[in-house]
Amino acid sequence: MEKLTLEWSLQNHPHHYTFHQAATTKVAQKLRLGRDPARCDIVFADRSVSSLHVELFFSATLDAALIQNLRPSNPPLIDGYQLTQGTANLSQGSQIQLGRIQLQVSQLVLPGQTQTTSPPQPNTASAYGLKCPNPSCGRVSRYDEQVLKQGCPWCGFSLAAANTVMMARPQS
């Protein structure tokens, strides 16, 4: 069964949350993070976090854990890259920044994988994405050979004619 554990610290107090497909959440099979307790499963009081900032979910098609930006005007940083639109793959050790809040994927188990106790490896995924050419979709997914072969994870449209887009790196 898929399982993803997030860890973060608030005022020097460690917190963690483990998400899996069968978890009871505000939206079925999705984990939402933000400030609004009516719409979010993990709630942060920090005003730098949007009311509904991101959602995490598992994609059986891609055999991956994904994060989707729900607030284009306040994009999260995923492993140091701004996710201005669409989704990004998460891996064990991925760093997520929502405003001033820092989270880490401390554990990620996907089907066909065994639970590992080895230290997390740095995410070396490229900073490029593929924009779906379907006019009614247009979502951006990480540039990945598997995604190219299988098509858009949301609408199934072929990505053979997809535009490659650069995912902006944060400025220092």
Helices (H), the chain: 145-150
* pLDDT tens-digit series, residues 142-163: 777 777 777 877 777 888 788 7
* pLDDT tens-digit series, residues 28-78: 999 999 999 999 999 999 999 999 999 999 988 888 999 999 998 999 999
Is the residue at 123 inside a domain? no
Is the residue at 72 inside a domain? yes
Tally of structural domains, the chain: 1
119-92-102 Cα angle (round to 5): 100
d(Cα 22, Cα 3) in Å, to the nearest integer?
10
d(Cα 155, Cα 162) in Å, to the nearest integer?
13
Cβ proximity of 54 and 77 under 8 Å = no
Is the residue at 12 inside a domain? yes
The structure's pTM equals: 0.66
111: its two tokens: 């089907």
Is the residue at 80 inside a domain? yes
Q: What is the CATH number of the domain that holds 16?
A: 2.60.200.20
What pLDDT was estimated at residue 114? 54
Domain containing residue 78: 3-114
Is the residue at 159 inside a domain? no
Cβ proximity of 171 and 84 under 8 Å = no
Is the residue at 165 inside a domain? no
What count of other Cβ atoms lies within 10 Å of the Cβ of residue 172? Answer: 3
